[in-house]
Amino acid sequence: MLKSVGTNGRKVPKIASLCNFLKFNKNIHSNPDFLAIAENWKSYWKSHYPFVKNDKGKKKYILSMFPYPSGLLHIGHVRVYTISDILSRYYRMKGYKVIHPMGWDAFGLPAENAAIENGISASSWTYENIKKMKEQTYHMNIYFDWDREISTCNPDYYKWSQYLFLQMFHKGLAYQAEATVNWDPVDCTVLANEQVDSHGRSWRSGAIVEKKNLRQWFLKISDYSDQLLDDLETLPKWPDKVKKMQRNWIGRTTGFEISFPLLNDEETLTVFTTKPETIIDVSFIALSKNHKLVLLESQKDPSLAEHLRNESLLDKGYQLPCFAKNPVTGKALPIFYDPYVLDCYGTGAVMGAPIHDRRDFEFAKRNNIIFSKESCIGSYFTNEGKELLNHHDSSNLMDIKQKMLQQKIVSYLEEKKLAKRVKNYRLKDWLISRQRFWGTPIPMVHCETCGAVPVPESELPVKLPDLDKIYEKGTSPLSNLETWMKTTCPKCHGPATRETDTMDTFVDSSWYYFRFLDSKNSELPVGLASASSLMPVDIYIGGVEHSILHLLYSRFFSKFMKDIGLWNGDKYLNEPFTQLITQGMVHGLTYTTMSDERILNPKEVQKIGDEYFLISNPKEKVQLSYQKMSKSKHNGVDPIRTIQKYGSDIIRAYIIFSAPVEGVLLWNENAIMGTKRWLTKIWNCVHQLLEREKKMSDAMRQTKLTIVDDHNSRKLESQYNEFISQCSAHYENVFSLNLVISDAMKLTNNIADALKNNKVNIGTIKASLEVLVKCIAPIIPCFSSECWLLLGHNSSVYSNWPISKNKKENMEELVTIPVQINGKVRFKIEMPKLNDENEILNFVLETNDGKRWLSNKKVLKSFVKQKIISLVTD
Ligand code: ANZ
Ligand code: ZN
- Centre of ligand 1 to C-alpha 254, Å, is 11
**Tens of pLDDT, residues 439-463:** 999 999 999 999 999 999 999 999 9
712-717 long-range CB contacts below 8 Å, 24 or more apart?
712/754, 712/757, 712/759, 712/760, 713/760, 713/761, 713/764, 716/750, 716/751, 716/754, 716/760, 716/764, 716/765, 716/768, 717/764, 717/767, 717/768, 717/805
State which ligand 1 atom lies nearest to the alpha carbon of 352. Answer: 1
pLDDT at 47 over 70: yes
Burial of 464 (0-12, 13-18, 19+ CB in 10 A): buried
pLDDT band for 69, please (50, 70, 90 cuts): very high
Q: What percent of the chain has pLDDT over 90?
A: 56
> What average pLDDT score do residues 566-577 get?
96
State residue 22's pLDDT score: 38
- Centre of ligand 2 to C-alpha 496, Å, is 7
State residue 830's pLDDT score: 79
| Beta carbons of 839 and 823 less than 8 angstroms apart | no
Region label for 609, one of left (φ > 0), alpha (ψ between -120 and 50) or beta (otherwise): left
> What average pLDDT score do residues 347-366 get?
88
Name the 3-class secondary structure at 415: helix
The total of other beta-carbon atoms located within 10 Å of residue 39's CB is 17
Preceding amide of 461 cis, omega within 30: yes
Q: Is the CB of 542 under 6 A from ligand 1?
A: no
Considering only CA atoms, which residue is closest to atom 31 of ligand 1? 356
Q: In sequence order, which ranges of 585-668 are alpha helices (DSSP H)? A: 639-646, 648-658
Burial of 458 (0-12, 13-18, 19+ CB in 10 A): exposed
**Tens of pLDDT, residues 487-532:** 999 999 999 999 999 999 999 999 999 999 999 999 999 999 999 9
The total of other beta-carbon atoms located within 10 Å of residue 690's CB is 17
- Centre of ligand 1 to C-alpha 210, Å, is 26
pLDDT band for 773, please (50, 70, 90 cuts): very high
State residue 721's pLDDT score: 94
State residue 702's pLDDT score: 56
State residue 405's pLDDT score: 84
> What average pLDDT score do residues 2-21 get?
36
- Centre of ligand 1 to C-alpha 421, Å, is 14
- Centre of ligand 2 to C-alpha 499, Å, is 14
Ligand 1 pocket: which of 345, 371, 377, 426 to mutate (most atoms <8 Å of CB)? 345
Q: Is the CB of 283 under 6 A from ligand 1?
A: no
Cα 414 to its chain centre, rounded Å, is 46
- Centre of ligand 2 to C-alpha 460, Å, is 18
pLDDT at 98 over 60: yes
| Beta carbons of 298 and 310 less than 8 angstroms apart | no
| Beta carbons of 668 and 589 less than 8 angstroms apart | yes
As a whole number of angstroms, the distance between CA 855 and CA 839 comes to 17
Q: What percent of the chain has pLDDT over 70?
A: 89
> What average pLDDT score do residues 113-126 get?
86
Closest Cα to residue 716, out of 688, 752, 683? 752
Ligand 1 pocket: which of 273, 283, 290, 358 to mutate (most atoms <8 Å of CB)? 273
Q: Is the CB of 234 under 6 A from ligand 1?
A: no
pLDDT band for 55, please (50, 70, 90 cuts): confident
Considering only CA atoms, which residue is closest to atom 10 of ligand 1? 253
Return the biggest CA–CA distance within the chain.
Answer: 112
| Beta carbons of 844 and 868 less than 8 angstroms apart | no
- Residue count of the chain: 874
As a whole number of angstroms, the distance between CA 205 and CA 452 comes to 32
State residue 669's pLDDT score: 85
Which residues on neighbouring strands pair with residue 452, listed in sequence order? 446
Tell me the one-letter amino acid at 482. E
pLDDT band for 634, please (50, 70, 90 cuts): confident
> What average pLDDT score do residues 316-331 get?
89
State residue 836's pLDDT score: 66
Q: Is the CB of 275 under 6 A from ligand 1?
A: yes
pLDDT band for 854, please (50, 70, 90 cuts): confident
- Centre of ligand 2 to C-alpha 455, Å, is 11
Dihedrals φ, ψ of 76, to 5°?
-65, -45
- Centre of ligand 1 to C-alpha 333, Å, is 17
Considering only CA atoms, which residue is closest to atom 2 of ligand 1? 275
Residue spans of beta strands (DSSP E) within 688-847:
814-821, 824-832
State which ligand 1 atom lies nearest to the alpha carbon of 353. Answer: 3
State residue 232's pLDDT score: 96
State residue 384's pLDDT score: 47
- Centre of ligand 2 to C-alpha 212, Å, is 29
As a whole number of angstroms, the distance between CA 652 and CA 656 comes to 6
Closest Cα to residue 662, out of 824, 544, 571, 562? 544
pTM of the model: 0.82
| Highest mean pLDDT pick, 468-482, 514-528, 536-550, 714-728 | 514-528
State residue 187's pLDDT score: 80
pLDDT band for 308, please (50, 70, 90 cuts): confident
Q: In sequence order, which ranges of 516-647 are alpha helices (DSSP H)? A: 528-534, 549-563, 639-646
Q: Is the CB of 804 under 6 A from ligand 1?
A: no
- Under 8 Å CB-to-CB from 639, ≥6 apart: which residues? 73, 74, 75, 77, 78, 136, 140, 651
Q: In sequence order, which ranges of 238-285 are alpha helices (DSSP H)? A: 240-250
DSSP structure class, residue 463: P
Q: Is the CB of 377 under 6 A from ligand 1?
A: no
Closest Cα to residue 678, out of 621, 618, 749? 749
**Tens of pLDDT, residues 782-810:** 999 999 999 999 899 999 999 887 655 54
As a whole number of angstroms, the distance between CA 154 and CA 157 comes to 5
State residue 671's pLDDT score: 87
Residue spans of beta strands (DSSP E) within 262-387:
268-273, 284-287, 318-325, 332-337, 349-352
- Containing H/E element for 255? strand 253-261
pLDDT at 325 over 70: yes
As a whole number of angstroms, the distance between CA 448 and CA 258 comes to 42
Burial of 150 (0-12, 13-18, 19+ CB in 10 A): buried
Q: Is the CB of 289 under 6 A from ligand 1?
A: no
Q: Which has more pLDDT, 848 or 765?
A: 765
pLDDT at 319 over 70: yes
As a whole number of angstroms, the distance between CA 558 and CA 534 comes to 13
- Centre of ligand 2 to C-alpha 495, Å, is 7
As a whole number of angstroms, the distance between CA 826 and CA 872 comes to 12
> What average pLDDT score do residues 684-706 get?
75
pLDDT band for 473, please (50, 70, 90 cuts): low
Q: Is the CB of 278 under 6 A from ligand 1?
A: yes
pLDDT at 389 over 80: no
Ligand 1 pocket: which of 270, 281, 337, 350 to mutate (most atoms <8 Å of CB)? 350
> What average pLDDT score do residues 621-641 get?
86
Q: Is the CB of 357 under 6 A from ligand 1?
A: yes
- Under 8 Å CB-to-CB from 753, ≥6 apart: which residues? none
pLDDT at 730 over 70: yes
pLDDT at 838 over 80: no
- Centre of ligand 2 to C-alpha 447, Å, is 5
State residue 380's pLDDT score: 45
Dihedrals φ, ψ of 726, to 5°?
-60, -45
Q: Is the CB of 273 under 6 A from ligand 1?
A: yes
CA dihedral (519, 524, 526, 527) positive or negative: negative
Which residues on neighbouring strands pair with residue 614, listed in sequence order? 605
pLDDT band for 471, please (50, 70, 90 cuts): low
State residue 844's pLDDT score: 82
Considering only CA atoms, which residue is closest to atom 9 of ligand 1? 274
Ligand nearest to the CA of 278: 1
- Centre of ligand 2 to C-alpha 811, Å, is 70
Burial of 421 (0-12, 13-18, 19+ CB in 10 A): exposed
The chain-wide mean pLDDT, for the chain, equals 87
**Tens of pLDDT, residues 194-203:** 788 888 898 8
> What average pLDDT score do residues 805-827 get?
74
